[in-house]
Amino acid sequence: MKNFYIILGVVGVVGVVVVAFMIRGGGSAASVPVDLPPDMTDSELVDLAQGIVYGDANAPITIMEFGNYQCPACMIFALQVKPQLDLAYIEAGQAKLVYYDFPTAGLPHSFVAARAARCAGDQDRYFEYHDEVYRTQREWSVPNSPVGHFKDLADDLDLDTRAFDACLDSDMHADVVTANLQLGVRIGVTATPNIFVHDGGPPFQKLGGFQFIDVQQAVEAISQN
C-alpha cells in the first residue's frame, strides 16, 4: 500500500471527475458507484481501494493494471497479454500483477461486473472468474442486465452459488470498487487498460500502451537497474 502513497505524491491529485451512471434494472445488485466521504484522504482511499494481486505478493516488480471488464482492449490484455506476462515474469516470481477496477459510465455494466469478480474473490477464485468475465464479454455486454450471466458463471465455476448470489444481489464491495475508480482518477487514469510498472519506489512508469512488448520493456528496464 505504501507504493500508492508514493504514487499519489509523485503524480499528484488531478482533480475531481464526476462519473455519472444511469440507473438500470436487473434486481437489487448495486450497479453504480456509491458515495464515499468527501473528505477522504489519499491514505484512506488507498486503504479502501484494495487491488487484487496475481502472483507472488513479494515479487520485486509490480505491474499495476486499471481495467474495465466491459472494455474490449482490457479483454485483449486479460486473455492475450496477461498469459504472456505470466510465463515471462509472474510464474518466476520476478513480477506480480495487481488489478484495480476502473468502471466508467460509458460502459454501464462494468461496475456490477467488477463487483461480481470481487464476490468470486470472497471464495478465493478471483482471477478464474476474472478470466471468464472477459472471455464471455460479448455475451453479457449487450443485455439490459448482466446479473443472470454473472450468476451462471459462478455456477459454471462450482462456486458456492448461494453465497455468491447473496453477495451480488447486495451492495457488497460497491465501496471498494468505487474507491478503485476514484483512486484511478486521482492518479491520472483516463482510459483502460492503463498500466503502471514500478519496483516500489519512483520513478513510476505509466505505460503508453498495453501490449506485451510495452510491459516487457518497462520490466526489463527496471530489472537492469
Give the per-residue pLDDT at 81. 98
- Dist CA 211 CA 167 (whole Å): 34
Shortest CA distance to 205 belongs to which of 192, 220, 186, 185? 220
**Domains, the chain:** 49-223 (3.40.30.10)
- Dist CA 69 CA 117 (whole Å): 9
Q: Cα–Cα distances in Å, from 40 out to 36, 37, 48, 124, 191? A: 7, 5, 10, 29, 24
Q: Supply 9's cell numbers.
A: 505524491
pTM score of the predicted model: 0.89
- Dist CA 134 CA 74 (whole Å): 8
**Residues 146, 26: contact at Cβ < 8 Å?**
yes
Give the per-residue pLDDT at 20. 39
Q: How many CB atoms lie within 10 A of CB 138?
A: 9
Q: What is the pLDDT along the chain (225 residues), one digit of tens a residue?
A: 555 555 555 444 333 333 434 333 334 689 999 999 988 998 999 999 989 999 999 999 999 999 999 999 999 999 999 999 999 999 999 999 999 999 998 999 999 999 999 999 999 999 999 999 999 999 999 888 999 999 999 999 999 999 999 999 999 999 999 999 999 999 999 999 999 999 987 667 899 999 999 999 999 999 887
- Dist CA 60 CA 184 (whole Å): 22
**How open is the CA angle 27-32-38, to the nearest 5 degrees?**
140
Own/partner pairs, 144-148, CB within 8 angstroms, 24+ separation: 144/24, 144/25, 144/26, 145/24, 145/25, 145/26, 145/27, 145/109, 146/26, 146/109, 146/112, 146/113, 147/26, 147/27, 147/29, 147/112, 148/26
